[in-house]
């Protein structure tokens, strides 16, 4: 059974809007089998209670999703919102910075001072912070009241902040469209969906799962690939996720983009996003933005590289940065031999079910 939101949560989610009807979450949420759960809990130390499947597509999430599912589904988008919807590690952070700057008069000063997570909140991040793990973060930082306060702030449900925000909102989510507010593409807000080829996604997600202690992955890449292809990673099934975005690509309030196109011709993508957001800049301003977004500059940009989370101990030292290589085709270093053959077969089988095709990387 899914926890029913309390009256307080309902009022917060509606922001005292009595004209909005609270929708019943339409999908069943069930625990995964005990044997699989035990194996996952052993390899992913950031989760302590277990994992769930959601609906007929069997979306996979940690236990924390259960208490928030109905709230995410009922979250009220506004007509001037800008949303970025992606499967994880599909160029999300890069796109966030690009979009925020285009929508905010290329305000590089604020972008430098204010972390991207504060400018562009991650809707469901709180569902991935297990209470016991949060307690450990607080215990480790107990000598610093300032750090403890920051831990409370970054782990606070993003929707609680967003419903109280009066200015234009920028929202990041990895939730598939099926689990997002049903009216998201109808209220007039701008939604950008970015897709990336699965091999690069898997490699990048593997590193993120090792980097974030809220995930806490301890094993090697081959085992991680096993979990991913069997839809035992958050936000999977991957193919269902991108298909839901692809099917909506012709809707006027959605811009569908491929990460590979961004890496090949960033200038063209900046122009596409500018037109979609209905903002105009000079050629020189577009070139300046291109320079700002170059991967070497981006990797050294503390505002986008989760430095605060590292300072708080939420991400590990020694596992590389949040922003990694930022290139297409890096999967070749990981998918080798039989592993690559297996992945190619998996991709071929799933591409037969869709007319989506990834650009060459």
- Please list the rounded mean pLDDT of every run of 10 residues in the chain (361 residues): 50 59 95 97 97 98 97 97 97 95 97 92 97 97 96 95 96 98 97 96 95 94 97 98 98 97 95 98 96 83 77 78 56 89 97 95 67
pTM of the complete model: 0.92
Q: What pLDDT sits at residue 361?
A: 67
Instruction: Establish whether the linkage from the previous residue to 223 is cis, with ω within 30° of 0.
Output: no
**Distance between CA atoms of 333 and 136, rounded to whole angstroms?**
35
Cβ neighbours, 10 Å, residue 29 = 20
Cβ contacts of residue 172 below 8 Å, gap of 6+? Answer: 83, 84, 92, 96, 120, 121, 122, 123
Q: Give pLDDT tens digits for 118-163.
A: 999 999 999 999 999 999 999 999 999 999 999 999 999 999 999 9
Residue 195: closest CA among 253, 276, 262, 271: 262
Confidence at residue 211, expressed as pLDDT on a 0 to 100 scale: 93
The answer to whether the beta carbons of residues 201 and 324 sit under 8 Å apart is no
Q: Is the sign of the CA dihedral 207, 211, 125, 325 positive or negative?
A: negative
Residues 6 or more apart whose Cβ sits within 8 Å of residue 278 = none
- pLDDT, residue 326, reads 52
Sorted by where each starts, the structural domains of the chain and their CATH numbers stand as: 78-351 (3.40.50.300)
Cα torsion for 312, 317, 322, 328, to the nearest 10°?
Answer: -170
Contact 174, 87 (CB under 8 A): yes
**pLDDT for the residue 322:** 46
């Amino acid at each position: 059974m899914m926890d029913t939101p309390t009256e307080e949560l309902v009022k917060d989610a509606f922001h005292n809007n009595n004209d909005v009807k609270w929708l019943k979450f339409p999908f069943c949420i069930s625990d995964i089998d005990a044997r699989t759960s035990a194996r996952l809990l052993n390899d992913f130390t950031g989760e302590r209670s277990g994992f769930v499947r959601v609906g007929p597509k069997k979306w996979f999430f940690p236990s924390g999703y259960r208490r928030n599912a109905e709230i995410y589904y009922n979250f009220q988008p506004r007509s001037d919102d800008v949303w970025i919807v992606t499967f994880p590690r599909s160029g999300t952070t890069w796109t966030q910075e690009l979009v925020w700057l285009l929508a905010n008069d290329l305000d590089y000063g604020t972008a430098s001072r204010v972390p991207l997570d504060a400018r562009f909140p991650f809707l469901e991040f709180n569902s991935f912070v297990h209470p016991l793990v949060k307690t450990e973060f607080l215990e480790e930082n107990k000598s610093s009241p300032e750090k403890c306060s920051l831990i409370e702030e970054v782990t606070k449900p993003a929707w609680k902040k967003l419903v109280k925000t009066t200015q234009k909102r920028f929202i990041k989510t990895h939730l598939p469209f099926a689990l997002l507010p049903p009216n998201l593409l109808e209220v007039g807000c701008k939604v950008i969906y970015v897709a990336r080829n699965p091999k690069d996604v898997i490699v990048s997600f593997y590193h993120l799962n090792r980097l974030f202690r809220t995930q806490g992955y301890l094993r090697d890449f081959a085992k991680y690939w096993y979990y991913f292809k069997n839809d035992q990673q958050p936000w999977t099934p991957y193919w269902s996720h991108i298909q839901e975005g692809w099917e909506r690509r012709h809707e006027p309030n959605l811009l569908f983009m491929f990460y590979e196109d961004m890496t090949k011709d960033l200038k063209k993508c900046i122009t596409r996003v500018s037109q979609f957001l209905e903002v105009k800049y000079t050629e020189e301003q577009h070139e300046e933005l291109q320079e700002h977004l170059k991967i070497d500059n981006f990797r050294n940009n503390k505002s986008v590289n989760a430095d605060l989370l590292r300072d708080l101990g939420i991400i590990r030292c020694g596992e590389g940065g949040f922003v990694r290589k930022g290139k297409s085709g890096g999967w070749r270093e990981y998918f080798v031999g039989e592993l690559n053959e297996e992945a190619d077969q998996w991709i071929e089988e799933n591409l037969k079910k869709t007319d989506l095709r990834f650009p060459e990387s």
